[in-house]
Amino acid sequence: MLRLALSHVESRAVAEEVVQDAWLTVLRSLDRFERRSSLRTWVLGIVVNCARSRARTERRIVTTSSESGPVVDPVRFLPANHPRWPHHWAAEPTEWRTPEAELLVRETRSVILDAIDALPSTQREVVLLRDVEGLQSTEVCNILRITDTHQRVLLHRARSRVRNALERYFAATEAT
Amino acid sequence: MIVTDLPELPCRELVELVTDYLEDRLSPIDRARFEAHLTECEACRTYLEQFRETIRVLGRLPEESLSPEAREALLTAFRGWSRL
Ligand SMILES: [Zn+2]
């Protein structure tokens, strides 16, 4: 929840205020809660709204760009006119020999968090709600008022970028 | 449907479809192309596994917690509210 708020505002202190605002809004409007959504989805929706309006008053630029273009650098692939393997991998992804437990150590975690931070805000909202908070796609579409297709585009771009960041990180650490 | 008659799905296109594949939103034809490619391409199998691993790790990030001061302020607000 705090991470969701942090994704819209500059400082941790402001994010904490946003979370407090959100909870107070929840309390004030609890009688308006309809059981169409789960309480959790409803609360997260309020956090998103509070964070967005706070971002607006702080005039933080809402970035929606880079929703087109390839998710993997084109130089990683062979050209379209390659006689045998057009558009196949030129630089194949190499297996991460990192055991999954190690993916959760502090360094890796900060690589992931930095990658999330660097995302355009709409992609960040979607990946936080879907993959970090674990909401269903229909719930995320309701909260963010986007179509299912758009949601999947944003999610895919976000996940791809996080994977790319991990790949770069592992390549660098294994090289040393 | 004969799978081998389908146009090939090259690696560069496959990486764009991974989330649609995982969410089961590909058309039956694209799904067949996707899976046919996977059986023949180890690099794309690796890519898919890394993608899945990324999603798993995202789901296991620890929750950020509020500072003690913010938590205290909230609890005070809750207490005030419950007295209403
Ligand atoms: Zn491939």
- B12 contacts in A (CB within 8 Å)? 70, 72, 74, 77, 87-88
- For residue B1, what pLDDT is reported? 47
Query: How many beta carbons lie within 10 A of that of residue A140, not counting itself?
Result: 25
Rounded Cα–Cα distance for residues B51 and B35 (Å): 16
Share of chain A above pLDDT 70, in %: 91
Q: Which residues partner with A77 through β-bridges?
A: A89
- The per-residue pLDDT of chain A, averaged, comes to 86
* Mutation target among A156, A162, A169 for the B interface, most CBs of B within 10 A: A156
Asked if the model's pLDDT at residue A3 lies above 90, the reply is no
Residue A115 has a pLDDT of 95
Number of domains in chain B: 1
- Confirm whether B36 is domain-assigned: yes
- CB contact (8 A) between residue B50 and residue A163: yes
* pLDDT score for B26: 96
Q: What is the pLDDT of residue A33?
A: 80
**Domain boundary assignment for chain A:** 2-60, 99-175
Domain interval for residue B19: 11-79
ipTM of the complex, rounded to two decimals: 0.83
Residue B1 domain-assigned (yes or no) = no
Q: With bands split at pLDDT 50, 70 and 90, how would you rate the model's confidence at A78?
A: very high
Angle between helices B42-58 and A148-175 (to 10 degrees): 100
Query: Which amino acid belongs to residue B79?
Result: R
Let me know the angle formed at the C-alpha of A119 by A79 and A117, rounded to the nearest 5 degrees: 135
**pLDDT band at residue A105 under the 50/70/90 scheme:** confident
The CATH code of the domain at A99-175 is 1.10.10.10
